[in-house]
Amino acid sequence: MYWQYFLVIIPLMGAALISLGLTLIASRYRSALGSRPFAILTLAITVWTLGYALSLVSGDLTTKLFWTDVIYIGIVVVPVAWVTLAMQYADDRQQLTRRTIILLSIMPIVTLLCVWTNSFHGLFRSNISLVNSGELTILDAQMGPLFWVHTAYSYILFLYGTVTIAQTFMRSTPQQRKQAGTLLIGGCIPWLGNMIYLVGLSPIDSIDMTPFAFTLTAIILGWGLFRYQLFDIIPIAREVVIENIRDGVIVLDPQKRVVDINPAAITILRQPNRSMIGKPAELLFARYHDRFDYLWGTQDARVELQIDHGSQPLIFDTRITQLQDKRGVHTGYLIVVRDITERKQNEQILYQAKEMAEAANIAKNSFIGTMSHELRTPLTTIIGYCELLQRQADDLETVQLTEDLSAIWSAGHHLLALVNNLLDLSKIEAGQMALFIDEFDISMLVDEIITTTRPIVESYANTFIVNCSLDIGTMSSDPTKIRQILFNLLSNAAKFTERGTVTLEVQREEMNGTAWIMFNITDTGIGIDPAKISYLFEAFTQADSSTTRRYGGTGLGLSLSRHLCQMLDGDITVVSTMGEGSTFTVRLPNSLSCSFDSQSLLAVDQDDFHPPSQPLLQPSASDSQSSLS
């Protein structure tokens, strides 16, 4: 007696339950693209099928109208949810915006309001009555113009969404085609049922076949959800990112079978189109199986492959990454193959250039060292004989000869100083400059510096002032290197100061529990442009090229002094004002540890510092002054 009820109600209730289950499952994949519109779609189907079942079992007109009005909540939502799902699945981000969704929702809201207020205007349906269809009592009505507007709008959205998914289906990989195909079939079935109902071909008079078609839709979508993991691998702009990327991309399943391969990988591996889909990855890398065997078990592995392409082999950086789902279950592998041939060639060129530069630098240092030694010996002899001749000429009172010999001595001594600086600089660059640590009295070292540099300072009619306490104490460092630093700085100060003052001030300071010795060399000379101080300590440079022509110099003294200070764990700083003078500050630790390379001692002479002997013929300066207290 009630077989028609069971025949009708059971499929509808089954579709409602399956759709509700799909809604709950989709809600667990909130971060997956497309999961939200899918959940809304299946929830709307639940409302539609469940409401239609309750409408059929209702006996009176009022109750049937109530459930029919409830049904339209699902009916108006389904088209919008369908087109939103299609656009998200195809990653149509430019079209799918919040504004688009709001505009798409206007018509459904208007339709729903018209349905619920139909008793006032009758534009959606009229002539409502109950008719018997076998054992079933069916609600019958004449559809008004607003119904057909709603129907046309719904079909337009359905058509757009279906075409969008079909386009995605055509350009997808086999795995993604199965997903898209599931959505297409599941989405089309209800609309076929709806068209059958609208044209009057329903097998049961006045029964809408659309809710019954949702039974098949629910089964198909549920099967696709579990069989093809609809929300595990969503095609995100695949045609733009993967298809056009220059790197080869290969996706494998857990059994190392090729699931997807992009055109770049096909070209790199010389495969015919996508014929490798579904085949073992070992066939792609058959020549390199020995290099791949140990990589599969690592989370992120990398190997370089050389693949022959024509006459020139190409080098590819190949990365293998294990893929896992949110539960940490292994789902496959991602292989990215990148052409690094040009980078490798550039690296080789840079390596060769570096080797050549290092070889040239070694050759340069060797040449400078050899030439410096070769030049220093005869120069020392020339200067020595010149001094002897000066004494003899002075005894014979031959003024002209004495002046000529003095010029020879000055030129020879200048050249010897240059050779010594070149030799020291080459030793530092070659790492062969040794330190000889000794404890010495600071005031005694300052006395030696005064004796050596006073003639030079006073030769420019300068006043030489020295402020150094006799009880300043001792320091542990390399005294020879400190003499050389101070000699270079004091000579510079004297050279660029005429009829002024050159001051050497020595102080002891405590900073952060460490004792430091500060040597301040101040002059009242020409000063230095602050903009040029940054490269003042570079080798073979001077702050102003015009000073080279006027004052001479090679630009080695300051560079060598900074290198020596850094070897002694200190540094040099300078403060200067154009036209007023400069202050160079040498900051050295009071105690220097002996942690230097002992092997370098074998390659260094003990005569690193060669200050000039006091000139025999130098102009006197009546205003010279010294203060050592």
Model confidence over 553-563: pLDDT tens digits? 556 778 888 88
Lowest model confidence (mean pLDDT) among 151-165, 230-244, 533-547: 230-244
- Residue 242 in this model has a pLDDT that exceeds 70: no
* Average of per-residue pLDDT across 48-68: 85
Which residues touch 619 (CB under 8 Å, ≥6 apart)? 459, 461
Residue 45 contacts residue 217 (beta carbons within 8 Å)? yes
- Residue 456 in this model has a pLDDT that exceeds 70: yes
**3-227 to CATH, choices 3.30.465.10, 1.20.1070.10, 3.40.1010.10, 1.10.3720.10:** 1.20.1070.10
- Residue 627 in this model has a pLDDT that exceeds 80: no
The predicted pLDDT at position 501 comes to 95
- Residue 599 in this model has a pLDDT that exceeds 50: no
Token look-up 């510079």 returns 492
- Residue 299 in this model has a pLDDT that exceeds 70: no
pLDDT class of 288 with cuts at 50, 70, 90 = low
Residue of higher predicted confidence among 228 and 74:
74
What is the rounded CA–CA span in Å between residue 216 and residue 190?
8
What is the number of residues in the chain?
Answer: 629
* Average of per-residue pLDDT across 138-145: 80
What is the rounded CA–CA span in Å between residue 125 and residue 146?
8
- Residue 280 in this model has a pLDDT that exceeds 60: yes
3-state secondary structure 358-407: HHHHHHHHHHHHHHHHHHHHHHHHHHHHHHHHHHHHHHCCCHHHHHHHHH
What is the rounded CA–CA span in Å between residue 523 and residue 497?
7
Which residues touch 108 (CB under 8 Å, ≥6 apart)? 76, 77, 79, 80
Dump pLDDT digits (tens) for 384-418. Answer: 777 777 777 776 666 667 677 666 766 676 676 66
Q: Which DSSP string do the residues of 430-457 spell out, in sequence order?
A: TT------EEEEHHHHHHHHHHHHHHHH
* Cα angle: 197, vertex 203, 204; to 5 degrees: 85
- Residue 237 in this model has a pLDDT that exceeds 50: no
What is the rounded CA–CA span in Å between residue 524 and residue 112?
95
Return the axis-axis angle of helices 442-458 and 479-495, rounded to nearest 10°: 30
Architecture of domain 434-603: 2-Layer Sandwich (3.30)
Cα-trace Rg, the chain = 47
- Residue 294 in this model has a pLDDT that exceeds 70: no
pLDDT class of 612 with cuts at 50, 70, 90 = very low
* Average of per-residue pLDDT across 36-65: 85
Please tell me whether residue 48 adopts helix, strand or coil conformation. Answer: helix
Dump pLDDT digits (tens) for 330-380. Answer: 778 888 888 888 888 888 899 998 888 888 777 766 666 666 666 666 777
90 bridge partner residues: none
* Average of per-residue pLDDT across 429-455: 86
- Residue 544 in this model has a pLDDT that exceeds 80: no
Dump pLDDT digits (tens) for 6-39. Answer: 677 787 788 888 888 888 887 776 666 667 888 8
- Residue 143 in this model has a pLDDT that exceeds 80: yes
Q: In percent, how much of the chain has pLDDT > 70? A: 69
Q: Which DSSP string do the residues of 136-178 spell out, in sequence order?
A: EEEEEEEE-HHHHHHHHHHHHHHHHHHHHHHHHHHTS-HHHHH
Both ends of the chain: CA-CA distance in Å?
Answer: 130
Residue 624 φ/ψ, nearest 5 degrees: -70, 145
Distance (Å) of CA 173 to CA 14, 176, 179, 255, 310: 33, 5, 10, 18, 30
The predicted pLDDT at position 230 comes to 60
In the predicted model, what is the mean pLDDT of the chain? 76
The predicted pLDDT at position 414 comes to 62
Domain 242-339 in CATH: superfamily?
A: PAS domain (3.30.450.20)
